Amino acid sequence: ETGVTQSPTHLIKTRGQQVTLRCSSQSGHNTVSWYQQALGQGPQFIFQYYREEENGRGNFPPRFSGLQFPNYSSELNVNALELDDSALYLCASSSPIGQDYGYTFGSGTRLTVV
Amino acid sequence: DAKTTQPNSMESNEEEPVHLPCNHSTISGTDYIHWYRQLPSQGPEYVIHGLTSNVNNRMASLAIAEDRKSSTLILHRATLRDAAVYYCILRGPLSTGGFKTIFGAGTRLFVKA
């Protein structure tokens, strides 16, 4: 079975621009979560999608938005990029939804905002 | 959200067992205890999880205190490849927002050859 695939692996954007990060979930997984991990810190939960609907959100502003597609792949969009948005963005998938199942994480997208 | 507390770092010798502690004194009865580890330049990797009983898998063992306010991840024979940051997290039911999966700073494990 394939794991979680994220693209691109690295990205450099200018402050004020918009960015779209992509995630293909593990085969058979219908739940996708996104995390932001600053250098030296643990991952911070952004939001989760289940059956194409957002069903949970962390403490991130509305300029962080997402989508989940019928094939369970997902996108994370960030508008009006700020320097503090520079981080590793992680996607994780699981199935079925619930606390008795582990997540499979991708290797992340390293975003640098200059 | 229930919080977990872990030591910032621990050191182990290769081929010796490692016991990584985690305190979660505010755990609720429906929270599962999950452990992940993150190797350099990679995303977190699922290690093990449990609710009340001790659990074993091919990677590690999870010992859960009887009052569930603490747990210990046990690596039976540490190898250099086990050097990573280990995260202990709690996941509750959807009705309480448990899907947020809050990560702390984790424990950085150093393994000496």
pLDDT per residue as tens digits for the range B29-77:
888 899 999 998 899 999 999 999 999 999 899 999 999 999 999 999 9
B99–A55 CB contact, under 8 Å: yes
- Report which DSSP code applies to B30: T
Mean pLDDT of chain A: 91
Lowest-confidence pick of A13-27, A40-54, A89-103: A89-103
What integer is the mean pLDDT of A43-64?
91
What spatial distance separates the first Cα and last Cα of chain B, rounded to whole Å? 39
The answer, yes or no, to whether residue B1 has pLDDT greater than 80, is no
A48–B100 CB contact, under 8 Å: yes
Q: Where are the beta strands (DSSP E) in chain A?
A: 5-7, 10-13, 19-24, 31-37, 44-50, 53-57, 64-68, 74-78, 87-94, 104-105, 109-113
Separation CA A47–CA A57 (nearest Å)? 4
B43–A45 CB contact, under 8 Å: no
Q: Residue B71 is encoded by which pair of tokens?
A: 């747990």
What is the structure's pLDDT at B105?
Answer: 85
Within an 8 Å CB–CB cutoff, is residue A55 touching chain B?
Answer: yes
The answer, yes or no, to whether residue A61 has pLDDT greater than 80, is yes
What integer is the mean pLDDT of B6-18?
96
3-state secondary structure of B98: helix
Question: Does residue A28 or residue A64 have the better pLDDT?
Answer: A64
Query: Could you tell me if B28 and B92 are in contact, meaning their C-beta atoms sit under 8 angstroms apart?
Result: yes
What is the structure's pLDDT at B31?
Answer: 87
Mutate: best of B5, B85, B101, B107, partner A, most A CBs <10 A:
B101
What is the structure's pLDDT at A30?
Answer: 84
Q: Residue A38 is encoded by which pair of tokens?
A: 């600053």
Question: What are all long-range contacts of A45-48, with beta carbons under 8 Å and residues at least 24 apart?
Answer: A45/B100, A45/B101, A45/B102, A45/B103, A46/A76, A48/B99, A48/B100
- Report which DSSP code applies to A16: T
Contacts across the A-B interface (CB distance below 8 Å): 66
Within an 8 Å CB–CB cutoff, is residue A9 touching chain B?
Answer: no
Residues in B whose CB is inside 8 Å of some CB of A read 30-32, 34, 36, 41-46, 49, 51, 85, 87, 91-94, 97-106
Provide the percentage of residues in chain B whose pLDDT is more than 90: 73
Residues of chain A in contact with residue B42, where contact means CB-CB under 8 angstroms, are 107-108
Residues of chain B in contact with residue A41, where contact means CB-CB under 8 angstroms, are 105
